[in-house]
């Protein structure tokens, strides 16, 4: 398994994770967001020449208000803090249950941690679907003060 930046060679239209909104975003918006500098999407493929996408995730920059952070992180930070947002994460139905979601999450955490050491950023945040909150909390994400589905992972 490899994680690569999304390219024109990857089959976006054939991807199906079982969620029409995620499928549509991946097929129609992911490349546009990359071209416009809004977010970057990364795909899991079997090998470098593969066009079949087993899963994908998108990362963007974010700015958080200090008051939204879990209380133990608010001290000594400015009113607004730089962060990274995990905007989308999905596994294709034929590859569900194979650990690809975990693999992508670890890749995203590693990627933003490396970037944060060079340019700054205090955390990775995600607005999780209710069914995914347990998945993220298993890996150390904590609930933010503003909403129970907004989760925070300090870097």
Q: In the structure, what pLDDT confidence band is assigned to residue 17 with cuts at 50, 70 and 90? A: very high
Q: 101 is written with which tokens?
A: 């979601």
CATH of domain 2-154: 3.40.630.30
Is 25 in a helix, a strand, or coil?
helix
**Using CA atoms, how far apart are residues 78 and 90, in angstroms rounded to an integer?**
33
Q: Give me the long-range contacts of 68-72 (CB less than 8 A, separation at least 24).
A: 68/144, 68/145, 68/146, 68/150, 69/123, 69/144, 69/145, 69/152, 70/142, 70/143, 70/144, 70/145, 70/152, 71/145
**Using CA atoms, how far apart are residues 101 and 95, in angstroms rounded to an integer?**
10
Mean per-residue pLDDT, 75-103:
95
Q: Annotated catalytic sites, by residue?
A: 136
Mean per-residue pLDDT, 72-101:
94
Residue 150 has pLDDT above 80, yes or no: yes
Put the strands of the sheet holding 123-127 in their side by side order: 2-5, 40-45, 55-65, 80-91, 123-127, 150-154, 142-143
pLDDT the model gives residue 103: 98
Mean per-residue pLDDT, 111-125:
96
23-39 per-position pLDDT tens digit: 999 999 999 999 999 99
97-113 per-position pLDDT tens digit: 999 999 999 999 999 99
Q: In the structure, what pLDDT confidence band is assigned to residue 49 with cuts at 50, 70 and 90? A: very high
pLDDT the model gives residue 148: 84
**Using CA atoms, how far apart are residues 102 and 138, in angstroms rounded to an integer?**
10
Contact 117, 125 (CB under 8 A): no
Which residue ranges make up each domain of the chain?
A: 2-154
pLDDT the model gives residue 44: 98
Residue 146 has pLDDT above 80, yes or no: no
Q: In the structure, what pLDDT confidence band is assigned to residue 71 with cuts at 50, 70 and 90? A: confident
The closest of 3, 2, 118 to 58, measured between CA atoms, is: 3
């Amino acid at each position: 398994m490899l994680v690569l930046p999304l390219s024109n060679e990857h089959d976006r239209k054939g991807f199906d994770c079982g969620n029409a909104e995620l499928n549509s975003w991946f097929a129609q918006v992911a490349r546009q967001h990359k071209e416009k500098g809004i977010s970057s999407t990364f795909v899991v493929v079997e090998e470098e020449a593969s066009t079949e996408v087993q899963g994908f995730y998108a990362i963007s920059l974010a700015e958080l208000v200090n008051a939204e952070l879990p209380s133990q992180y608010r001290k000594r930070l400015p009113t607004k803090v730089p962060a990274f947002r995990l905007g989308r994460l999905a596994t294709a139905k034929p590859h569900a249950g194979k650990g690809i979601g975990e693999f992508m999450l670890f890749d995203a955490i590693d990627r933003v941690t490396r970037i944060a050491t060079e340019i700054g950023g205090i955390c990775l945040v995600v607005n999780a679907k209710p069914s995914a909150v347990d998945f993220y909390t298993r890996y150390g994400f904590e609930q933010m003060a503003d909403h129970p589905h907004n989760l925070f992972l300090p870097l």
